[in-house]
Amino acid sequence: MIRAFHSFPRGFLWGTATASHQVEGDNRGNDWWRWEQEPGHIAHGHRSGLACDWWGGRWQEDFDRAAADGQNAHRLSIEWSRLEPEPGRWDSAALETYRTILQGARDRGLVPIVTLHHFTNPAWLADAGGWLEPAAAERFTSFVRRAVGALQDLVDTWITINEPNAYAYAAYTAGAFPPGERDLRKGLSVMRTLIRAHAMAYHAIHEIQPHAQVGLAHNYRGMEAAHAWNPVERALASLRSSIYNDRIPQAVHDGRLRFPLGGETLEQAARTQDFLGLNYYTAETVTLDLRARSELFGRSGFPPGSDVSPTGFIANRPAGFWRALVWARRFRLPILIAENGIEDETDRLRPRYLAAHLRQLWRAVNFNWNVRGYLHWTLVDSFEWERGWTQRFGLWSLDPDTQARGRRPSADLYAEICKANGLSSEMVAAHAPEALESLFPRTGRGEVTFEPPA
């Protein structure tokens, strides 16, 4: 067996990522709790319920596990509806709970990275029209000022909005998130409002905390024609990728929001990222389908024979992660992998997915690209939005009825990686032997080989 070790830079952040509604439990003041109570929205009628019971204090044992496994960072979110349950009314007890959680992370050696909007809205904002409400960006910025002002002594790195592209699509185009709209024009309008909200929040945070690092967490999903010989599918994949992957990051880079039939200047949004938060899970193929109007006449899928997760939600396509990194580098900002993972209750696929993706990440740091850290989704199984409890992303399993946790084998692999600050061939041989030859291939002399970056 070839022996090799892929080391990461000193001070590299290794951790996991979570979101408030998915882990806290009994989060009754937002639009998602209400959405769960209405039949037909969540797979099998599942509800978040107690989730992982973090609001009840079980974050402590989960943070203990993360720290014991060598993690040195954790990304979590602040629930807007807990801090501002009614317009202009602030809950000091909820704020103190978040202070306790953040201090608990720091006490365990976990650098807290805080997201200020992760898919949920206060019920009162939803009732007023959600992100189509004219003053939504201003309302969000008011919340940001209050949260950052109160927590700035505990947090240096802020993510304003998680996956604004995915949120606008799921909530206003696909109808999978509340309010369940299926209108492409509304989705594009919400994208614009989210850009404004991010820009306003960015400037507000820097007024309060000049040294803070502020960015978005952007969902990058690779898209390619299912039939490379088909020029229509190639053009379609390019258009879909441009709208989904490029519009928002480009707007917060140069202040220009570009759409196929026009655009506008958003000067306030220019240069409003101190780092680029990159969320990558998979890459898809696009097949022409004239019935899929809301999808820009394209149907998503994976190449035949793909290494696919149990529910078919994610394909193990690490080469797509490399392309995402190449894409992210063009913005010339530090990169933080804010989410990466796969749903796999049996934990048979996750070890090779994790190893293969980290090898692609090592390629980037090996070329001295400025990658700050890697946050695995997720620490413990959590409520997965419209998919309920049908998908298990955790390094640790969770029984939502009993709150019992169980350590998965991939937690052992990730612990070895975190503690060693790198990935070795021995780790892959022990935890994902089927991937050893592809990740650590031999030449005639036994060297590890890989292609240089574009």
pLDDT in tens, 54-78: 999 999 999 999 999 999 999 999 9
Residue 444 within any structural domain of the chain = no
Burial call 407-423: b when 16+ CB within 10 Å, e when fewer: ebebbbbbbbbbebbbb
Average pLDDT of span 403-421: 98
pLDDT at 131 over 70: yes
Residue 454 within any structural domain of the chain = no
- 350: CATH: 3.20.20.80
In the chain, how many domains are there? 1
Mean pLDDT of the chain: 95
Cα–Cα distance, 429 to 438 (Å, whole number):
11
Confidence tier at 451 by pLDDT (50, 70, 90): very low
pTM score: 0.96
Average pLDDT of span 117-146: 98
Tell me: the pLDDT tens digits for 206-257? Answer: 999 999 999 999 999 999 999 999 999 999 999 999 999 999 999 999 999 9
25: closest CA among 394, 401, 442?
401
Average pLDDT of span 377-404: 98
Burial call 102-124: b when 16+ CB within 10 Å, e when fewer: bebbeebebbbbbbbbbbbbbbb
Residue 359 within any structural domain of the chain = yes
Which domain, by its residues, includes 99? 5-439
Residue 285 within any structural domain of the chain = yes
Residue 360 within any structural domain of the chain = yes
DSSP-H helix ranges across 310-386? 318-329, 350-366
CA angle at 434 for the pair 432 and 439, rounded to the nearest 5°: 80
pLDDT at 271 over 90: yes
- Residue 296: CB atoms within 10 A of its CB come to 17
pLDDT at 296 over 90: no
Residue 297 within any structural domain of the chain = yes
Contacts of residue 191, Cβ cutoff 8 Å, sequence gap at least 6: 164, 165, 168, 247, 248, 257
